[in-house]
Amino acid sequence: MGLKIWLNDGLVDERDAKVSVFDHGLLYGDGVFEGIRVYNGNVFEGPAHLKRLYESAKVIMLDIPMDIETLADAMEQTVRANNVQEGYIRLIVTRGVGDLGLNPFICKNGATIIIASEIRLYPEELYEKGLKVVSVSSIRNHPLSCPPQVKSLNYLNNILAKIEAIQAGAAEAIMYNHLGYVAEASGDNVFTVRNGVVCAPPTQAGSLDGITRDVVIKLAKKEGIGVQEKDLTRFDLYVADEMFLTGTAAEVIGVVEMDGRVIGGGVPGPVTKRLRKLFFDYARS
């Protein structure tokens, strides 16, 4: 028995969850998506994810064919129908069926797809030991192209970044913006710790406005840990006392090597570990 997938207006069997080959989501990567965690059967930070989805859609002039409450309810129904306790939701809205040209205004029946399933996580060992990352040549979108805050179905820059990282034997890629400042990793936000202060590139530097990032910043402030959002260079990462990544899948994970340089003490540092624990407890509470 396969999964129950939400498709447009209700749940269908996995084998019936099909979209047209003329859907511009497939033809052009024209659409938006979210990746959301489920902890103890609860959708984690659902409103924040939905807000980001609707904002991404607004920027690319895509009408999501249902209101936010209906979509939230559809997510809940999908989670329950698949009895997901610890898992992951992939929420996708495509532009819909058009012809072979680019014009999105003739597209009809944008597909709303919700998949609630298991999640593949980094092995526990990597949280203990920390990750290796590399700088990559593929940069984040220029703010005058599709804005990097839009979580669109076109992830090719990030996929090219991931390819570079894997080929260099690293788990993640550090991506820069068109000015040379640090933006983020291919699927995670990046942070440093310097003299006890947590530093993150501002989202204007070309990162996604990560939900995990926001939660971690709030938790750090609540704990009395200083947080600074400022542009970071490659230099700042190399000489950081600690470095870590945040994301829906990774939660909070330490980085211990970048471009052959050992970061901090070569193991996840005390602030990273504290924030990981705080996030872990918060997400599961």
Residues that are catalytic? 151
Closest CB to ligand PXG: residue number: 35
Least separation in angstroms between residue 198's CB and ligand PXG is: 15
CB within 8 Å of 204: residues ≥ 6 apart: 143
Please report how close the Cβ of residue 93 comes to ligand PXG at its closest, in angstroms. 16
Coil vs helix vs strand at 249: coil
Give 187 or 201: the residue with its C-beta nearer to ligand PXG: 187
Binding residues for ligand PXG, rule: CB under 6 A, are 35, 158, 184, 187-189, 208, 210-213, 246-249
Nearest one of 173, 136, 137, 133 to 255, comparing CA atoms: 133
Return the H-helix or E-strand segment holding 243: strand 242-247
Return the number of the residue (117 or 233) whose C-beta is nearest ligand PXG: 117
**Whole-angstrom distance, CA of residue 84 vs CA of residue 170:** 31
Phi-psi region of 206 (alpha: psi -120 to 50; beta: other; left: phi over 0): left
Least separation in angstroms between CB 69 and ligand PXG: 21
Burial of 8 (0-12, 13-18, 19+ CB in 10 A): middle
List C-alpha distances in Å: 115 to 5, 17, 80, 279: 5, 10, 12, 25
Question: Smallest gap, in angstroms, from Cβ of residue 185 to ligand PXG?
Answer: 7
**Which residue, 262 or 284, has its beta carbon nearer to ligand PXG?**
284
* Minimum CB distance to ligand PXG smaller for 97 or for 176: 176
